[in-house]
């Protein structure tokens, strides 16, 4: 074979290689990210990283999943509970109990509230907060001082919009001379008045209410029927198309930043809602330990950083995701769903 | 354990059980579908069903995937090629070569255009059509006679809109007395002028151009660089958040209607774009055979039906997906992404 590439490899590129194949070709989203200046990358604090070690795969592959916890002002009560549970070693020995295709992977105590349990539920540690439904959203927040004010773009960031004094309601309701229908379409969202990025996270909102949104890889808190909001002892992550109808109905506490494939490729459960049935209990993947990176010896701490959503590169990256002009594409879309603009996160080399 | 349910089981229900748990509770989307009259289910013709048999899983589980091919007027040239390839037995013995997390699973000839191939590429059968890029979209189509005219709803169907004479441009551009901002938001789509359902499929469009959209489980045709549009010998399916930027850039030819979990849970490839590297060639899942259901002996033919997107139940189902009122939910979203309203498809019992 003389050709040097899989032709299809070029075609479905989520992130193209860092080196441009053609000097004249517009950069792909991945190329833009690779060229971002160091100052636009934000280090994730070790107390915001959760290292979850699963039992090795059947073929012996080690499986580690790293989760970034959400920053203030979002979901901090549940995030605090998760730190308490991790420090108590409570998560050690629980299992993945549910894998529902195109929906979620969920882990927790397999004996909790399970009529077919073969043992007693594990007692929770003391000191967990009971959170209310009102805390699924925050009434307002001040954009970080680092926000760059910018004009409305094809893919706008929320803090940019707020900082620029944009009246979201007016924008959505009526065209103004400077607000084209293309710009309004780019902001449209079926689940919230608008959806955009701030502080490295995808956020939905309207006038005085803001909330994190359920994109692929986001991590949330299992709960029972309302007004129960869950403690943080049972967690799930999204493994399919964004289930945005869960926004404001469950607490989101973070996202998987490495090792997602160890969860998303697990065998699906054959019980209702993807739970593993008693007969297939051997499919439950054991979780050996969950630790905050800040509680690990310094030599073992993983380090990660995300591309600032307030920087110039993120704006260009989001625009390029919305309008693919790299050589494979024929028709740029003219917009992108907020969950189709994943915030770039990368491991920092030791 | 005295409780009779996993509390979290109630919580992330994509499809609730058919029997209502509480007589007073509004029905869930799944309950509405279960109550649909038989007349609203449409049988899928056997020549539109492709049965793909994979090698058994490492634990011995049989793996069969059923794909529904798209009806006219969409992508019929490629669909015809796929029937030709299946009838020639060409797909038998190819492999799954790429599994990229939150993106696609792709299958084809592992030796095609592969610089590291250990054998020659498989010759294609005669009679395949060469399709042009213009055929990614269709200029117009007439809604089926069975369309039910209906007023604009939270989740509208395209044929309903067209039949009702709605001016999409006007709707998106300016509010009229009867068109609330909620209704406009419900129709908003970042990738097309609007997105809705017709003949059982999710379709994007604008004035005189319509195209199928890349939702979870949709099947498309791998291609090289433009103007190549692919023959149908290399196919992929979406296993993550809808990559709508591929709309109008690749031909969509169908969707997986059964056995999706056999593809979505495959181990991810560690090469660029999720391709399996030469070192992990043993991870390539063999495809034993691909047959049109119409070419199988009658006793072996699977039968499937889909819920008509022009019927009353689908409208209620879509509205319920957009506004979850079953007991678990606190805040109905007020809208739903087109890819978060999967068209119900079910196997017909023998």
- DSSP codes of every residue in A258-297: E-HHHHHTSPPP-SGGGBPPGGGGGGSPBEEEEEEGGGS-
The encoded tokens of residue B298 equal 């009658």
Asked if the Cβ–Cβ distance from A173 to B188 is below 8 Å, we say no
Considering only CB atoms, B267 lies closest to which of A102, A113, A265, namely A265
Q: How many CB atoms lie within 10 A of CB A271?
A: 17
Asked if the Cβ–Cβ distance from A190 to B98 is below 8 Å, we say no
Considering only CB atoms, B191 lies closest to which of A111, A242, A335, namely A335
- Contacting residues of A for B275, CB less than 8 Å apart: 6, 9
Enter the pTM of the model: 0.87
Higher per-residue pLDDT: A207 or A280: A280
Residue A235's closest chain B neighbor by CA? B8
At A23 the pLDDT is 58
Residue B17 pLDDT more than 60?
no
Residue ranges of domains in chain A: 45-139+210-302
| Averaged confidence pLDDT in chain A | 83
At B210 the pLDDT is 87
**Domain covering A45-139+210-302, topology:** Cyclophilin (2.40.100)
Q: Residues B183-210: pLDDT tens digits? A: 445 556 777 766 778 889 998 877 678 8
Residue A44 pLDDT more than 60?
yes
Asked if the Cβ–Cβ distance from B265 to A260 is below 8 Å, we say no
Higher per-residue pLDDT: A197 or A108: A108
Residues A204-227, mean pLDDT to the nearest whole number: 90
Asked if the Cβ–Cβ distance from A331 to B216 is below 8 Å, we say no
At B333 the pLDDT is 86
At A196 the pLDDT is 77
- Contacting residues of B for A339, CB less than 8 Å apart: 241
- Contacting residues of B for A240, CB less than 8 Å apart: 216, 240-241
What does the alpha-carbon distance between residue A336 and residue B280 come to, in Å, rounded to a whole number?
34
The encoded tokens of residue B288 equal 């034993």
Residues B58-76, mean pLDDT to the nearest whole number: 95
What does the alpha-carbon distance between residue A302 and residue B61 come to, in Å, rounded to a whole number?
37
Residue A308 pLDDT more than 50?
yes
Higher per-residue pLDDT: A196 or A316: A316
At A163 the pLDDT is 45
At B187 the pLDDT is 54
Residue A274's closest chain B neighbor by CA? B9
Asked if the Cβ–Cβ distance from B267 to A267 is below 8 Å, we say no
Distances (CA, A) of B245 to A299, B43, B120: 41, 31, 33
Residue B231 pLDDT more than 90?
yes
Per CATH, the number for B45-110+129-136+215-303 is 2.40.100.10
ipTM: 0.87
Find where tokens 């748990």 sit.
B21
Sequence-distant contacts of B87-90: CB under 8 A, at least 24 apart: B87/B292, B87/B295, B88/B125, B89/B289, B90/B122, B90/B124, B90/B125, B90/B233
Asked if the Cβ–Cβ distance from A113 to B273 is below 8 Å, we say no
What does the alpha-carbon distance between residue B81 and residue B65 come to, in Å, rounded to a whole number?
19
Residue B155 pLDDT more than 70?
no
Residue A26 pLDDT more than 50?
yes
Considering only CB atoms, B333 lies closest to which of A191, A234, A322, namely A191
Higher per-residue pLDDT: A100 or B21: A100
Q: Is A10 exposed, middle or buried (0-12, 13-18, 19+ CB in 10 A)?
A: middle
Higher per-residue pLDDT: B323 or B129: B129
Residue B319 pLDDT more than 90?
no
Asked if the Cβ–Cβ distance from B322 to A242 is below 8 Å, we say no
Residue B179's closest chain A neighbor by CA? A173
> Which residues fall within 8 angstroms of residue B115, CB to CB, at 6 or more apart?
A1, A2, A3, A4, A5
Asked if the Cβ–Cβ distance from A340 to B244 is below 8 Å, we say yes
Residue A7 pLDDT more than 90?
no
Q: Give which of B5, B8, B14, B252 to mutate to test A binding, by max A Cβ within 10 Å.
A: B8
Asked if the Cβ–Cβ distance from B14 to A268 is below 8 Å, we say no
> Which residues fall within 8 angstroms of residue B24, CB to CB, at 6 or more apart?
none
Residue A67 pLDDT more than 70?
yes
> Which residues fall within 8 angstroms of residue A179, CB to CB, at 6 or more apart?
A152, A171
């Amino acid at each position: 074979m003389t050709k040097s590439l899989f032709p299809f490899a070029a075609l479905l590129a989520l992130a193209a290689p860092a080196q441009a194949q053609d000097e004249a070709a517009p950069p792909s989203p991945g190329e833009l990210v690779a060229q971002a200046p160091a100052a636009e990358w934000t280090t994730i604090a070790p107390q915001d990283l959760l290292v979850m070690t699963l039992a090795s795969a059947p073929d012996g592959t080690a499986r580690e999943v790293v989760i970034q916890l959400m920053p203030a002002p979002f979901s901090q009560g549940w995030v605090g509970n998760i730190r308490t549970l991790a420090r108590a070693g409570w998560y050690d020995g629980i299992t993945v109990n549910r894998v529902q295709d195109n929906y979620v992977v969920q882990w927790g105590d397999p004996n909790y509230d399970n009529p077919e349990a073969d043992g007693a539920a594990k007692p929770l540690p003391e000191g967990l907060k009971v959170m209310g439904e009102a805390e699924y959203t925050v009434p307002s927040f001040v954009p970080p001082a680092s926000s760059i004010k910018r004009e409305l773009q094809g893919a706008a960031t929320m803090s940019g919009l707020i900082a620029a004094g944009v009246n979201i309601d007016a924008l959505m309701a009526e065209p103004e001379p400077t607000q084209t229908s293309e710009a309004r379409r780019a902001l449209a969202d079926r689940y919230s008045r608008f959806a955009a990025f701030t502080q490295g996270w995808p956020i939905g909102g309207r006038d005085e209410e803001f909330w994190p949104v359920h994109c692929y890889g986001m991590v949330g808190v299992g709960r029972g029927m309302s007004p129960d909001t869950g403690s943080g002892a049972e967690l799930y992550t999204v493994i399919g198309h964004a289930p945005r109808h869960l926004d404001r109905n469950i607490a989101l506490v973070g996202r998987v930043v490495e090792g997602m494939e160890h969860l998303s490729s697990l065998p699906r459960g054959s019980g209702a809602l993807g739970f593993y049935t008693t007969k297939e209990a051997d499919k439950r993947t054991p979780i050996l330990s969950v630790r905050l990176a800040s509680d690990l010896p310094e030599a073992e701490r993983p380090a990660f950083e995300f591309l600032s959503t307030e920087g110039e590169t993120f704006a260009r990256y989001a625009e390029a995701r919305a309008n693919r002009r790299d050589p494979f594409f024929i028709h740029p879309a003219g917009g992108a769903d907020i969950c189709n603009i994943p915030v770039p996160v990368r491991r920092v080399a030791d």
